[in-house]
Amino acid sequence: MIASLFVCVRHGLLWGLFFSFSLLVMGEAKASIVVQTIDGRELSGEIDERTTAEALWIRREANQIVLTSSVSWDSIVGAAIDGEIVEVATLVEQWPGMMSRGPAGIVALAVKSPHGYREKRLAARPKGSRIVALEIDAVLVNLDRDVEPDGFELVIAALDEQGRAVPVRGNISARLVGERDEKHSGRIRFEELQRWSQPVAREDFLDGVASYALRFQTVRPEFDWELIPVALLNVRLGIPGEGNFEASIPVEIRQFNPFRDQLQKYERSRFLSDELSGEVRRQRVAWPGRGLTTWAGR
């Protein structure tokens, strides 16, 4: 009886030592944190190794895709570590010992968003993989010396069966479809605002991700006030031997700006008189209640 108990205890100790050794091999589990920001967002996950004294990076992993978000320390108004609410100062003090590294062999795609930068980490393509989907994102960008946005920065990733980004060769065709509120007639129309075509080369891709500038040519949303600020961007990627892949996303074509909205309402311009604006004196603009007309000057 005593001998049997001794054997059980000994086996239990061995299993305990084995379990402890396994934990050491796998690595120490890192703390889970939740932070609340001054603009009402809530971010949760682990503290990523890119965190600095200026910005906190939080990483979440799921289905071989890693999502990361960054926020400045000054924007954090609340925090919790492993479910326990702590002072923000405590998190600021302890974060160097809480950082962890993401999965090995993963590369990052950073995409701008209204709340800073969002990242998706996408694995490299293995040999023989097959493209199954297209992922895109786009943001308004300024491409010249004046103040108004001039088009989009389009980011693309061709994904294989495992959701990993793949460099490809082919062609992109994109179209922007918008909604127009005709002030003079009261009608709502949906129309194609512009098309783009862009060759795609393998050399364009960095870690499986490529970006292209889509400049406005036939539309100027900052001056065409009949256009609703949000439109649809439809992108088709044609890959020889593999077919066509499409993705569509809503895009902001005129940024939300209450100050410029007020200028438009009372001054009939979205820009200050001394702002550098390339088309403001020549562009056809939509006057409230009068449809399109030419503005000769202030």
Where do the domains of the chain lie?
31-104, 124-294
Band (pLDDT 50/70/90 cuts) for residue 175 is: very high
pLDDT of residue 32 exceeding 70, the answer is yes
Tokens standing for residue 80: 């919790």
Fold topology of 124-294:
Immunoglobulin-like (2.60.40)
For 107-145, how does the pLDDT look when each residue is reduced to its tens digit (9 = 90+)?
A: 444 444 433 444 444 444 567 778 999 999 999 988 888
Which residue from 261, 259, 253 is spatially nearest to 139, judged by alpha carbons?
Answer: 253
Buried b (16+ CB within 10 A) or exposed e, 2-34: eeeeeeeeeeeeeeeeeeeeeeeeeeeebbbbb
Decide: 31 and 46 in contact? Cβ < 8 Å.
Answer: yes
Band (pLDDT 50/70/90 cuts) for residue 272 is: confident
For 153-162, how does the pLDDT look when each residue is reduced to its tens digit (9 = 90+)?
A: 999 999 988 8
pTM, entire model: 0.53
Q: CA 15, 20, 22 angle in degrees (round to 5)?
A: 95
What pLDDT score was predicted for residue 208? 83
Decide: 168 and 237 in contact? Cβ < 8 Å.
Answer: yes
Band (pLDDT 50/70/90 cuts) for residue 27 is: very low
Write the CATH number of the domain with boundaries 31-104.
2.30.30
Per DSSP, 282 falls in state: T
What pLDDT score was predicted for residue 244? 96
